[in-house]
Amino acid sequence: MSTLEIVDRWDGGISWTLAEELDGMHRTSHAIETEAGIWVIDPVDAPGLDDELASLGDVVGVTLLLDRHKRDTATVAKRHDVPVSLPKPLVGVADELDCETTVYSHTLPDTDFQTITVIDNRLWHEVALYDRDRGTLVVPESVGTVDFFTTDVERLGVHPGLRLFPPRTALGSLSPERVLVGHGPGVFDDAANALRVALARSRKSAPKYYAGLLLSPLR
């Protein structure tokens, strides 16, 4: 049975993973407080999750930010009697979910989270969410904090598939106070600088990263 592990708790939400994944890809999910209620992002399910969500408030929506992150999204949405809300670039995922879906465009419904299309091609559809006033940026895949994403000197690293062409246009002008990611704990300390460095040095550090990946296949 999966065991819930809270990896970040802050004034405004929680992030969690499964305890058995802490040494692996570390699929991370988030629940964020908004004026409308609690939004759940890319959730993995485990016993105790509903109690954690209830401690924050009422769940008003579940959203998916990456086409590959279907995870337990439909299960959690149905249990809370809400549809899965899909940003427009992910509209094609609707047919793969066994639940009601709805689509949004520029903002997460009834919130101040703006949508940012990070990647949108036939192989990869990813949207980030950014609330400038609260300083919260959610990036599901392009950057992460687990070893698979980083070199030994990076707190935040660009996905290995994007190292040579990091998403600077989409993310480079942002100055978040916290960066929440889909793989690993979030970055809460000097997050804007961590993001800037990750994007700026991605290509330069690629040889070191790939060498480390080859030497340590289970990074």
List pLDDT tens digits, range 179-189: 999 999 999 99
Q: Is residue 50 scored above 90 in pLDDT?
A: yes
- Give yes or no for a contact between 188 and 18, defined as CB atoms under 8 angstroms apart: no
pLDDT at site 205: 87
Taking the CA atoms of 102, 104, 109 and 114 in sequence, report the sign of the dihedral they define. positive
Q: CA 141, CA 189: separation in Å to the nearest integer?
A: 20
Question: How do the domains of the chain map onto residue ranges?
Answer: 4-215
Q: Rounded mean pLDDT of 29-57?
A: 97
Closest CA to 86 of 72, 105, 69: 105
pTM: 0.95
From residue 110, alpha-carbon distances to 24, 69, 84, 105, 151 in Å are 35, 23, 15, 12, 38
Which amino acid appears at position 213 of this protein? L
- Give yes or no for a contact between 38 and 53, defined as CB atoms under 8 angstroms apart: yes
Confidence of residue 208 (pLDDT cuts 50, 70, 90): confident
The more confident residue out of 133 and 211 is 133
- Give yes or no for a contact between 125 and 67, defined as CB atoms under 8 angstroms apart: yes
Torsion of CA 103, 105, 107, 110, to 10 degrees: -40
Q: Rounded mean pLDDT of 138-149?
A: 96
Q: Please state whether beta strands 136-139 and 178-181 pair in parallel, antiparallel, or not at all (unpaired).
A: parallel
User: Which residues partner with 116 through β-bridges?
Assistant: 128
**Burial readout 143-180 (b: 16 or more C-beta within 10 A, e: otherwise):** bbbbbbbbbeebbbbbbeebbeebbeebbeebebbbbb
- Asked: is 4-215 a CATH 3.60.15.10 domain? The reply is yes
Q: Is residue 23 scored above 90 in pLDDT?
A: no
Q: CA 170, CA 31: separation in Å to the nearest integer?
A: 23
pLDDT at site 219: 42
Q: Which residue is it, tokens 């246009």?
A: 169
* Residue 171 tokens, joined: 């993310």
pLDDT 10s digits, 156-174: 999 999 999 999 999 999 9
* Residue 94 tokens, joined: 């609707």
Q: CA 164, CA 147: separation in Å to the nearest integer?
A: 18
Q: Rounded mean pLDDT of 111-133?
A: 97
pLDDT at site 206: 86
